Structure 1
């Protein structure tokens, strides 16, 4: 698997090819850790399609999926785990993703499960951590685990909309929440992972891979990147009513991959972390971060398809605009957009008896090709106007076709909620200015070992023996030289 990381900052792009520090638990992309609680997932299991959705926007055309999770405190302090209405408890989300033809898409998301009572189990262990140091249930002790079964994670009475939670601070208020004043009517599959039939059809999704992800959002955790984990899902058959039968990668005893799925499962993607302030420092920076993934497909005939997925990890201000810069003379076409359906969450915003929360909708973002960029946006923040920003632990996908090979370019986002002015920009894979440079596979206008590696990794599709000969013949050429 080929993966590269870039870092970016607020307003001014300051991207570099740099690696994050590794924390003790192996969770990649964490800065050097200080003392404190560090929650991770050591089990992700039982991905059964539980029931046919029989209400809401996807009545009769979707299936509800349940996932079990086991959290594990691998840090150096106890993790807060109070029970509602106290806000100091974990907020647990789940997603399902599809990777197909180079595109990584968020196809299902789950309402927030509000944690209660931390067990003092040791479902997972490590000699370096020692034995679980048990508590009274209001804290997750050092080296201790807590398991929520698939049925508990899908219990409607414990599920609230994501918009009620500030993912950066971990704060939440019982007052005015769905637990305080009620929510949308219940039906089979309500608030759970709803997977549309079209997204999991074997006929309509040839070669697709699927991933389930869990994420524990807490205010006192010292590393967000190992607070998520994922496993690959496999469809073995379908029930007579159309429900797919999912089988998770390996079994419950096999640990999940400790990472957000997009950061590790998207082959050959370039990843860029962006934030209002870089580096992001837990409990210090003004807001959290997002990650932008980029993947480029050579379509042949002088055309390349550029695919991007913007994942809001824990930015409370959310994202309402995304763009990629275009050099002069580049022709872009075939704009693409995908977002998961925010089932039921939008109804809690309506004024017909349910008036809390800012307006929200499922409207697709509007894409436009401008003179110097390709840009997508939803309606700007307005208390009286519905909109569809990228909320936390959620990923939206974008794409277009261009007539030049990739190089390192600039992309950017704007924050939805009011705050510091200006865009957040970073480096990514983007169309080049169109200089002809035979053998330059990665688009940096230099033919070197990186191009040979990229070609060999994708040899046979799309690259052939003829392409290999071009790289070898031009090896060492620097097309940036005068």
Structure 2
């Protein structure tokens, strides 16, 4: 039985991109709102804690805020609302937000109660339509009922259309005889739905996703109805915060849910991130991109991106970021919503662009993926590209303005060498660039043998000289002839050695370049001459008028 409507929540409409277009089947005046979101509940579980899996559901109330009735027919009629769900976790320090639920099945609406509570309800006289100003609530029992849950891939979220023939409901689970699988009649029975067990096709979340330190959690629901104009969809999606707690006595997770609902992509739950979006004109739906750049720490900026496909039917199979070709890119990562490491997107550094791509695991609607890396290049705004996966009308790529690694003052020349992890040399100061003048400029060499001497040397002749194995000196000449020792410091208890290299107020230095590298004594044995480690090389460009990207 449906729960009663409890509380109306204010809508916060967020319009982020131009919307002077219309999809092919839009119905003027059609507008459904996710009016209330509440009661995230663990409905059942399989496996023993802390290695189990949970079937989760949430309660949703919709409201017809448009000017005409909205079809609310039960399957196998094809005109009814769909409700989709996401559960996410904010990592410690809010470094990242990740989807911890699977790309779950979606709820097929089946009857409108046409209750009051969101305006003057104009009852249409039937539960097969949601009247103007009327509300309809599905409690957790209904939204978690496998009898009404179907695969998201059967639904076109852009047009709001679903084909009953040959659908999950038509075929049944397990499938009925072939002759009955595509006859347009429901074969999925209540008995089959019950046999799916306590988790089934409910929102699936592993114990391990809840049972971990985090900055916070959030859950989202979204309504889609056939023909709703894109301009009216900002109030279809909303999220709430929650905190999970395991109860051994109840053998279940309980969720504390403070008041407050936000109308937007669940990515807006990520503090400190910037949220932008992109849409394929009037041909397909909207994709959100949230990004955050932090640092530098030890000479590296950390770049984080999360991409949420709200209702783009064609899906996304590539995420492309322009970079300065001299940018050093390390510690690359990717996260999707399944447990299959074999279908992770492939990363490539193509010189002036880095890209993650897939030919088998696109970012489909009602899910979001994560992409991250570190770079020595400082951020600037530029345009990311998202390739559409399926063929179809409209553009082959979407675009959005994000921050990417574009500014390189000190060019990374190559890795160092060590029998363990090589020392890392990076520029320091405010700024960490050889501007004229810059009394704070200098270097730090990390990862050296503690309390051992470290020598900083430099030269102005380009070149790379190999001294065996992975040991390269990234400058031409020899010590005393083209290569000069700047100074020697003793590495501290953490293996760090600091060098002051103040830049004087001398305009004659403008445009000059010098290569720097550090040499550390390793009493335990190093690859260079049996006793030394080498850091990476840096090409330092001096001046105030040098280009941001060499």
TM-score (norm 2): 0.63
Q: Does 1:333 find its partner at 2:330?
A: yes
- C-alpha distance in 1, partners of 2:207/2:314? 32
Residue in 2 that maps onto 1:391: 364
Alignment equivalent of 2:299, drawn from 276, 279, 302: 302
- C-alpha distance in 1, partners of 2:430/2:253? 44
Residue in 2 that maps onto 1:201: 211
Q: Does 1:424 find its partner at 2:377?
A: no
- C-alpha distance in 1, partners of 2:219/2:388? 27
- C-alpha distance in 2, partners of 1:81/1:480? 64
- C-alpha distance in 2, partners of 1:65/1:480? 58
Tell me if structure 2 keeps the 8 A contact 1:315–1:392. Answer: yes
- C-alpha distance in 1, partners of 2:99/2:202? 14
- C-alpha distance in 2, partners of 1:174/1:59? 39
Tell me if structure 2 keeps the 8 A contact 1:239–1:245. Answer: no
Cα 1:363–1:308 change in 2 (3 A) is same
Q: Does 1:316 find its partner at 2:313?
A: yes
Cα 1:72–1:378 change in 2 (3 A) is same
Listed as ranges, the matches of 1:373-388 within 5 Å are: 373-379=353-359, 387-388=360-361
Residue in 2 that maps onto 1:216: 223
Runs of 4+ in 1 over 6 A off after TM superposition: 436-441, 479-482
Residue in 1 that maps onto 2:279: 275
Q: Does 1:134 find its partner at 2:114?
A: no
- C-alpha distance in 1, partners of 2:429/2:398? 34
Residue in 1 that maps onto 2:451: none
- C-alpha distance in 1, partners of 2:294/2:169? 46
Q: Does 1:411 find its partner at 2:391?
A: no
Residue in 2 that maps onto 1:64: 55
Give deviations 1:376-431, integer Å, cap 9, x for gaps: 1111xxxxxxx211111211111111112211022111111013564322221111
Q: CA deviation at 1:309?
A: 0.8
- C-alpha distance in 2, partners of 1:320/1:87? 29
Q: Does 1:369 find its partner at 2:349?
A: yes
Tell me if structure 2 keeps the 8 A contact 1:36–1:220. Answer: no
Tell me if structure 2 keeps the 8 A contact 1:80–1:88. Answer: yes
Residue in 1 that maps onto 2:65: 74
Q: CA deviation at 1:37?
A: 2.3
Tell me if structure 2 keeps the 8 A contact 1:335–1:399. Answer: yes
Residue in 2 that maps onto 1:13: none
Q: CA deviation at 1:241?
A: 7.8
Q: Does 1:155 find its partner at 2:152?
A: no
- C-alpha distance in 2, partners of 1:149/1:104? 27
Give deviations 1:138-193, integer Å, cap 9, x for gaps: 22111111000101101111110000001111110110101001236713211111
Cα 1:54–1:432 change in 2 (3 A) is same
Q: Does 1:171 find its partner at 2:164?
A: no
Residue in 2 that maps onto 1:50: 43
Give deviations 1:358-383, integer Å, cap 9, x for gaps: xxx9722122233222211111xxxx
Alignment equivalent of 2:238, drawn from 229, 252, 266: 229
- C-alpha distance in 2, partners of 1:103/1:366? 20
Cα 1:169–1:197 change in 2 (3 A) is same
Which of 159-168 and 26-35 deviates more?
A: 26-35
Root mean square deviation, CA, Å: 3.1
- C-alpha distance in 2, partners of 1:74/1:266? 29
TM-score (norm 1): 0.72
Cα 1:164–1:305 change in 2 (3 A) is same
Residue in 1 that maps onto 2:110: 116
| SS of match in other structure, 2:153 | helix
Listed as ranges, the matches of 1:95-114 within 5 Å are: 95-100=86-91, 101-108=94-101, 109-114=103-108
Tell me if structure 2 keeps the 8 A contact 1:39–1:73. Answer: yes
| SS of match in other structure, 1:199 | helix
- C-alpha distance in 1, partners of 2:235/2:11? 8
Which of 419-428 and 80-89 deviates more?
A: 419-428
Q: Does 1:261 find its partner at 2:235?
A: no
Residue in 2 that maps onto 1:349: none
The unaligned stretches of length 5 or more in structure 2 are: 1-9, 175-194, 411-427, 436-543
Larger of the two Rg values belongs to structure: 2
Give deviations 1:241-300, integer Å, cap 9, x for gaps: 8643212222xxxx62222221x31222222211222xxxxxxx1111211111112151
The unaligned stretches of length 5 or more in structure 1 are: 1-23, 278-284, 344-360, 380-386, 446-478
Tell me if structure 2 keeps the 8 A contact 1:68–1:150. Answer: yes
| SS of match in other structure, 1:224 | helix
Tell me if structure 1 keeps the 8 A contact 2:12–2:262. Answer: no
Residue in 2 that maps onto 1:383: none
- C-alpha distance in 2, partners of 1:65/1:440? 50
Tell me if structure 1 keeps the 8 A contact 2:280–2:395. Answer: no
Cα 1:224–1:163 change in 2 (3 A) is same
Cα 1:220–1:304 change in 2 (3 A) is same
- C-alpha distance in 2, partners of 1:142/1:480? 63
Tell me if structure 1 keeps the 8 A contact 2:43–2:198. Answer: no
- C-alpha distance in 2, partners of 1:196/1:25? 31
| SS of match in other structure, 2:208 | helix
Tell me if structure 1 keeps the 8 A contact 2:51–2:206. Answer: no
Give deviations 1:80-119, integer Å, cap 9, x for gaps: 2122112111011111011113211111143110001111
Residue in 1 that maps onto 2:258: 249
